[in-house]
Amino acid sequence: MIRVLLVEDQAMVRGALAALLALHPDLEIAGEAGSAEEAIALLEGPLAAAPPDVALVDVQLPGISGIDLVGRLPEVAPTVQALVLTTFARPGYARRALEAGARGFLLKDAPADRLAVAIRRVRGGERVIDPELAVDAMTEGQSPLTDRETDVLQAARVHGTVAEIAAALHLAPGTVRNHLSAAIGKVGGRTRAEAVRRAEDRGWL
């Protein structure tokens, strides 16, 4: 029996995944979490004595991202293998997930049977990723943004002014402007919004 932890913030999607996996007699839902924080609490609490075999993790979660959760699994639950599931076919997401330690990267529009097969293969120690997406992930290249430029662009998603971004990141407004200018130049956008969109499309944010 392969025990699976579902980490998905949308309750309806999480329920559908649980129902689909329940159709396979060799798969068992060990727990469900709506965020990375909830998943960590489960792994360090109720599931600590008998951890799941595979964590099925969405990329976009509230708070800690799914990719960051994957990176923390070795210290939280070293035996758990991560399979990332996402709506977005972004090569940058795939690259970052694999670099964080994920054993697989699958799109949500994949056939249901493929998901079950992927879980089994990941549990068996294999790496599972869509071949075309894997090639794109390798050719797309790593993000050209520095950590601080990434932080500034991420903050620009939710804060409208330089002053608000500066306050959120505890930086001087001039420093924020410099990082924004550098990030926009590297990503190739003409505006802050376009730079954010392009970075998101490549999975760099």
What pTM does this model have? 0.69
23 CB-near residues (< 8 Å, 6+ apart): none
CB–CB of 144/189 below 8 Å?
no
Q: Read off the pLDDT of residues 90-147 as tens digits, 9 standing for 90 and up.
A: 777 787 888 899 999 888 877 878 899 999 999 999 988 866 565 455 555 567 888 8
Domains of the chain: 2-138 (3.40.50.2300), 147-201 (1.10.10.10)
What is the Cα 187 distance to its own chain's centre? 21
Token pair in block for residue 128: 């599972």
**d(Cα 140, Cα 84) in Å, to the nearest integer?**
19
Non-local (6+) Cβ contacts of 185 within 8 A are none
Element (H, E) at 123: helix 112-123
